[in-house]
């Protein structure tokens, strides 16, 4: 499956044919037989996708400490971002998100609810549901340590969970949802520096309709004008200590998860799946996440600066090549010209 992901294969025939072309090297991967189409198809249908979910969790736990950038701002290592992305399917395997098309033909869709840690830039928690599932379902699975900061868009609208995070000591930052019921209870002073950088208003509010028996949430509403986008934003947060400008900057980091979604969709085959059943689709998505994690680990550890797209291409081109990967990625030209001494034994890429 990793061969499928790295080589961007779009069909089982392409996977099997590609592996047959490299049959003399498969034994070094522990494969001593030619993979058949029916064997791979049956495996994707019968082997539980939770196996790959567990593999991802183990890899993340093992290498998470090597991913953060020590030069990041102090609050970055406490910042978490959550969002979801929908992967379209061309069959009604999972309920589709959005209205029924005019032609009556509906595609399937699977939604990947994702939590990332800002200083790691890889998925920390992923939950896959049918495409039409509301985002608030994922909020109940988020349980962060006290002192954490969580940012998300305004689609996550569960006051009970927001109140739970507040009581647990978790700060959250989001945008104001239209038609939200708010009661202003106090106005906070704005310094000249804050006003000069776009802060228009800073008030304490109570979220929740006053005449309904629902959970009320004490929060802070910040109105901010972004001169670059020439737009006015309204941010909600339960953090009463951080400056209004810091709150705006925290929410700006939410777009980091959009970059992650774009990176995965552009570099891995998630438009064509090897199976037409839900289990096979989940397996392929988890394998894409595993591949993404492995590449991020490599990108962090090599001395040469590689863009993720170039690194992904190099791995694909040399996937079945006998080459010292670390030596090649650090000094590719010298390695190919034979100027870098080749070690008699290939070093392990990851701890085993």
Output the CA torsion sign for 256, 259, 265, 266.
negative
Distance CA 216, CA 173 (A): 17
Residue 81: band (very low, low, confident or very high) from pLDDT cuts 50, 70, 90 = very high
pLDDT at 98: 46
| Cβ atoms 220, 239 nearer than 8 A | yes
Can you say whether residue 263 is alpha, beta or left, with left for phi > 0 and alpha for psi between -120 and 50 degrees?
A: alpha
pLDDT at 303: 87
For 134-155, what is the mean pLDDT? 94
Distance CA 89, CA 102 (A): 18
User: Cβ neighbours of residue 53 under 8 Å, at least 6 residues apart?
Assistant: 126, 286
* pLDDT > 90: percent of the chain: 57
Residue 225: band (very low, low, confident or very high) from pLDDT cuts 50, 70, 90 = very high
pLDDT at 172: 97
Q: What is the dihedral of CA 315, 60, 44, 140, to 10 degrees?
A: -140
For 138-165, what is the mean pLDDT? 94
* pLDDT > 70: percent of the chain: 89
| Whole-number Cα distances in Å, 266 to 6, 18, 99, 118, 259 | 12, 21, 26, 21, 10
Q: Tell me the pLDDT of the chain averaged across its residues.
A: 87
pLDDT at 342: 55
pLDDT of 195 above 90:
yes
Pick the more confident residue, 341 or 212: 212
Maximal CA-CA distance, the chain: 77
Radius of gyration (C-alpha) of the chain in whole angstroms? 24
Task: Give the model confidence (pLDDT) of 231-255 as tens digits.
Answer: 999 999 999 999 999 999 999 999 9
Task: Give the model confidence (pLDDT) of 280-291 as tens digits.
Answer: 999 999 999 999
Reported as type and span, the H/E element at residue 231 is strand 231-237
For 147-171, what is the mean pLDDT? 94
**What is the pTM (predicted TM-score) of this model?**
0.86
């Amino acid at each position: 499956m990793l061969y499928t992901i790295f080589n961007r294969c779009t069909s089982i025939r392409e996977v099997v044919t590609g592996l047959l072309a490299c049959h003399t090297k498969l034994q070094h991967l522990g494969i001593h037989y030619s993979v058949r189409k029916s064997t791979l198809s049956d495996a994707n249908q019968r082997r539980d996708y939770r196996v790959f979910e567990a593999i991802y969790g183990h890899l993340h736990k093992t290498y998470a400490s090597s991913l953060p950038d020590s030069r990041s701002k102090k609050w970055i290592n406490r910042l978490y971002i959550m969002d979801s992305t929908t992967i379209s399917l061309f069959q009604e395997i999972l309920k589709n998100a959005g209205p029924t098309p005019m032609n009556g033909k509906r595609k399937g869709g699977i939604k990947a609810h994702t939590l990332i840690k800002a200083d790691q830039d890889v998925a920390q928690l992923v939950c896959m549901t049918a495409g039409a599932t509301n985002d608030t379902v994922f909020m109940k699975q988020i349980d962060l340590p006290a002192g954490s900061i969580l940012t998300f868009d305004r689609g996550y609208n569960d006051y009970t969970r927001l109140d739970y995070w507040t009581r647990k000591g978790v700060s959250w930052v989001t945008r104001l949802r239209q038609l939200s019921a708010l009661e202003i209870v106090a106005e906070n002073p704005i310094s000249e520096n804050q006003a000069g950088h776009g802060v228009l208003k800073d008030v304490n509010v109570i979220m929740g309709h006053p005449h309904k028996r629902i959970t009320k949430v004490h929060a802070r509403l910040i109105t901010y004008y972004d001169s670059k986008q020439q737009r006015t934003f309204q941010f909600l947060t339960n953090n009463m200590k951080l400056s209004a400008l810091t709150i705006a900057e925290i929410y700006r980091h939410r777009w980091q998860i959009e970059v992650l979604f774009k990176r995965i969709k552009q570099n891995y085959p998630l438009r064509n799946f090897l199976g037409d059943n839900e289990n096979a689709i989940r397996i392929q998505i988890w394998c894409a996440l595993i591949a993404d994690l492995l590449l991020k680990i490599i990108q962090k550890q090599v001395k040469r600066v590689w863009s993720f797209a170039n690194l992904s291409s190099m791995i694909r081109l040399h996937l079945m090549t006998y080459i010292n990967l670390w030596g090649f990625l650090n000094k590719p030209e010298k390695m190919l010209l034979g100027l870098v001494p080749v070690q008699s034994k290939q070093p392990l890429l990851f701890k085993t």
